[in-house]
Structure 1
């Protein structure tokens, strides 16, 4: 628990005071630096007021978003809801914190849309608004469009927090809040220039970890938890802080090493690192001081975000740098698809962590003397290995540049990998491995996992009809609308597609061959029918892609102009053929697994019936005798 509050002020006043001091410091920096950060890139200076407004707005919105995300994480890992799922009084205090800051996040994001566009255009924001050029300025500003996305997400979070007090919905709100936290970082320095695939993945993890660390620290300072829950919060803070430091170092290497501490960007980066360390070290003893240090880290990162990274200033850009972040050596072949690696520091690391976590759970069960089918272990490891290959090998490297390879990647993520992950039964393994919370103790990870699995949201998403619509509908929505033209242009778009297709595939196959507890499943014959119902939709998609004359993502592929792709139409037709033909192998695997589960269920039923008969029970005979007794009774 926190040893003492600093002085006699309340934690809230210290938080507000720290924010105002840092805000004044950022304003002072903006005034002192003047037009320096604009002239370094050759951009026009929009004026002092607009320049200051950009820095103030970025810091305020980023801090509000971080506290909202951290508060939601705080609630998810510490709340003790009642039987209806409603939050307890201690968690409600943190809910109020997020509920009050979400509108601040929303209003600031809305105000930042014209401010960011004006900074990009190099004119005062008042002139931009009155002159009617806001639309064209936003079209030229990725950060400006990023603020639109943030405003939309902040609206969802604001309404959601106002509308519910149930634990499960707070867990769901983590998703839009996470999107709002990373929307600006992926649109800034990390999404530009050489190696921006590495930088984009790294900044997603860094921004989320920094937000969780700061938000947890502020929530713990304003609503101190009990001693046991405090230890849980400190563990989460340490993990988030360690991740932020590691990924922050990766971003420093990718973006700031060209100038080091000689630039404002580098000096603010060093200040952010020191503040992160201070929040980790001091936060264990003083929650308030740790929270202020976290806010300082957010302020330093905000100052970095509104200026161009040194590496981008010193680099001569090529089309490869702009659109991919790297140059491909030669046309793809089997060897290059396996050896040209661009390790994904987000999804590649996730695949490794998932594999290690599963192995740890398996080893614990075995040491405890419990059995676990080796086939499930093999299936999970195959799924994780395939995920690593699909996101970090030449499949991703070439898939980001060629539609045909991208379609092979898509089919692996949507139909191959989810099958093996589902057969691994990770939820069942976690439930058997995680300890049960003792009497009188707050619910632990096992109990929270059960709440989530049996929540109304999980029941809705895993319902066969919902999973079917998501699995089939997203295929056509992504590729046959302008959505694909946007997603294929950016590395964050490829990461989004990977997660989306992986999750929708997992939900669909969970309802067909899933072993884990969850949705109420159809009878086996119904599951087989649902599986075969999908096949015509995939076949039609493949045929449509093979026969189209327009090019999906044509603008991006034409600008990139891969030298060995002579015809974009031919490459797209090859991708359609891959989509059509490669769906058969996963279906065969699913049918084999489904038939095996069906036969196993029949054997269990037969065994149970035989045991019942051996015990001299006959349900039909008992029912018949009961009917005769009832008739005899009525005749009397």
Structure 2
């Protein structure tokens, strides 16, 4: 079955639209709710940074384009357009939502009961686990791999409910991954150290690269339904190769941008978040102060750390200088 819309050439990108009533309603409710909370906060005499509002509006705009514009129409017929939609949903929109800080907005604009409830949720094991890189990084990798280099794309082309579920899956996966990494939204206490944020973002480039290379190197169409739905445009393999290149270079490029932003926040934050995290800090302490460290020395206090390190060296020297008992044969 071929599509009725014209090929995506020139003005067709601007004039081709569709409608998604359920998604549009949810997006509109989210926008209204956000703006109502901002107004409530200002009535209470508190300010809300304009950059957060701009981030929220940008996220809403991209979502509208993803579900209603030519991107939505042609993503059913061109694999490479579908890949652009994927990157927008799993990286760009989640990052903008993190910068919009809806969790902080709800907490600041609410009463004591709601604030206490939010703080309880943030401190709970479910929330902490759901945004932990030990969960979100494997989830991110699994979602990318299983939805791109298996038969998922073909099944999605044949069943609209799979397509809709995929979009929600990408948005949720990206948001959970980036929530503790790319901003200062209310998450866990203490926040994730900056160095670990940087490392996690770098690790997330590997699934992008893997999926991109596999799609570019595969000589058989993974989802022939894309090409079968139209009588124009590139062949299935050319379309698939282009999609792979977009995933590889586009996905890695977006992660690099987020790494630069995370690095900028690290530098602008001074010493804030200088910790490496409990596990790496423990290794650092043991390497510097020894296994007998009692935790009383501030490792980031240069003089205290130097004194403790010198004391450790002196103890090691005394231990090595002690005479060793001699063992005589037959004695």
**TM-score class, shorter:** 0.7 to 0.9
Return the alpha-carbon distance in structure 1 between the equivalents of residues 272 and 193 of structure 2: 15
Cα deviation for residue 349 of structure 1 reads 2.5
Residue 217 of structure 2 is matched in structure 1 by 547
Offset of 1:572 from its aligned partner? 0.8
| Native 8 Å contact 1:328 1:398 kept in 2 | no
CA contact (8 A) 1:351 1:385 kept: no
Deviates more, 1:578-587 or 1:507-516: 578-587
Q: Determine the structure 2 residue equivalent to 1:498.
A: 167
Higher relative contact order, chain-length normalized (CA < 8 Å, sep 6+): 2
Question: Do 1:342 and 1:397's aligned partners in 2 also have CA atoms closer than 8 Å?
Answer: yes
Which residue, out of 394, 397, 418, partners 2:73?
Answer: 397
Separation in 2, partners of 1:471, 1:581:
17
**CA gap 1:505/1:621 in 2 versus in 1, 3 angstroms:** closer
Q: 1:450 to 1:335 in 2, by over 3 A?
A: farther
Determine the structure 1 residue equivalent to 2:249. 581
Could you tell me how far 1:585 is from its partner in structure 2?
4.4
The match for 1:407 is: 83
User: Unmatched 5+ residue regions in structure 1?
Assistant: 1-318, 321-326, 438-444, 607-618, 628-636
Unaligned segments of structure 2, at least 5 residues: 275-299, 309-331
Structure 2 residue 92 is matched with structure 1 residue 422: no
Counterpart-to-counterpart distance in 2, 1:449 and 1:605: 23
Partner of 1:469: 138
Q: 1:509 corresponds to which residue?
A: 178
CA RMSD of aligned residues (A): 2.8
Distance 1:515 1:338, change over 3 A: farther
1:155-554, aligned counterparts within 5 Å?
Answer: 319=1, 327-333=3-9, 335-437=11-113, 445-519=114-188, 521-554=191-224
Provide the residue aligned with 1:184 in structure 2: none
SS of match in other structure, 2:147: helix
Tell me the TM-score normalised to structure 1 length. 0.41
- Judging changes above 3 Å, is the alpha-carbon distance between structure 1 residues 401 and 434 closer, same or farther for their aligned structure 2 residues? same
Would you say how many aligned residue pairs link Structure 1 and Structure 2? Answer: 280
What do the CA deviations read for 1:582-633 (whole angstroms, capped 9, x no partner)? Answer: 2244234423431332133217699xxxxxxxxxxxx979989xx9xxxxxx
Would you say the 8 A contact 1:402–1:571 is kept in 2? yes
- Please give the alpha-carbon distance, in whole angstroms, between the structure 1 residues aligned to 2:4 and 2:191: 46
Q: Does the 8 A contact of 1:413 with 1:501 survive in 2?
A: yes
Highest Rg: 1 or 2? 1
